[in-house]
Amino acid sequence: MLSIFAPAGMVLRKTCPADLATLPESAVWIDLEKPTADEDRAVERLAGVAVPTREDMQEIEISSRLYLENGARYMTASLMCGSETGAPRITPVTFILSNHRLVTVRYEAPKPFTLVENKLARAAPQGLTGEGVLLELLDAVIDRCADILERAGADVDQVSHDIFEPDESARTGHAKRYSEILIAIGRKGDLTSKVRESLVSIGRLVTFVATESDSIKWSKEMRAQLKTMQRDVASLTDHASYLSNKITFVLDAMLGVVNLEQNNIIKLFSVMAVVLMPPTLIASVYGMNFRMMPELDWPHGYPFALAMMVIAAVLPYMIFKWKKWL
């Protein structure tokens, strides 16, 4: 889908033209979402830029993601998508700056694009250009990553609380509860790693834009905004690393708790085996069918054998309690 954004007074008006023969001179942002081949050719003809293919956007080399071509600046970053669902994913988005006009190419719908579109539809700065739209998008993307990390941090804290300070109602059904906790830890670890990957690509893009801003002659406010973004990306990357380490610690602690529970179960079975071994031995001895066994003719032999079994079972149990092995 092709969307064209052009200033209209104090707002940015969106149009989805059916006729791709002309391009408004005032257009500052051209958004290509899952573009068709006809839309790619139309934008290439009217905007004078080469629209990269989906395969080109998925290249991971820096030279294929950040480069200059025919006076246009091509920048591709990996953005988070579907973070609120059970299947977060990374999607490449290409930003093309040419003649103060921004062209974006994407095959998913990251939330920052909708937020910026709605924001500029309500109020747009006077004299807005493609560079300004790019900064708005980058700022929204960075804020979105910060929100995701905040939620992930809160969820990790809750998981940690469930492990070390479980409620009384959660002390039953250990296997099911531990399975749910392990799944939650795995999901948060996967989400955090994806956010960190996105932040790394965004940081490279912001650095590239800041370097190229000298030749573009951006305003002082834009340069200050770029420096702020660089600091924000650096701090968020450090926070993502901290969360990754915390998730690793919580996972190790969880596995330690599981091992401790398994050891307690094995210890219980071992104690039962030791406690029942002497009575079993006594019963085995008197269960042998030999003729010459004097106790068989003794009137008190049966209660005596039962008493020996009880004593042989209770004595090891008391020793274990005294040694504090139980």
Residues contacting 68, CB < 8 A, separation 6+: 74, 212
For the stretch 52-82, pLDDT in tens is 888 888 888 888 888 888 888 899 999 988 8
Give this prediction's pTM: 0.78
Q: Which residues of 10-44 are buried (b: 16+ CB within 10 A; e: fewer)?
A: eebeeeeeeeeeebeeebbbbbbeebeeebbebbe
- If pLDDT is split at 50, 70 and 90, which confidence band does 237 have? very high
For the stretch 180-233, pLDDT in tens is 888 888 888 888 999 999 999 999 999 888 887 666 667 788 888 889 999 999
Strands (E), the chain: 2-8, 11-15, 29-33, 66-69, 72-81, 89-98, 101-106
For the stretch 18-30, pLDDT in tens is 666 666 777 888 8
263-322 in CATH: which number? 1.20.58.340
3-state DSSP call for residue 290? Answer: coil
Element at 251 (helix H, strand E): helix 220-286
The full set of domain ranges for the chain reads 2-261, 263-322
2-261 in CATH: which number? 3.30.460.20
**Average per-residue pLDDT in the chain?**
83
| In the chain, % of residues over pLDDT 70 | 92
What are the residues facing 93 on neighbouring strands? 77, 106
Alpha-carbon distances, residue 143 vs 150, 234, 260 (angstroms): 11, 13, 41
Residues contacting 298, CB < 8 A, separation 6+: 304
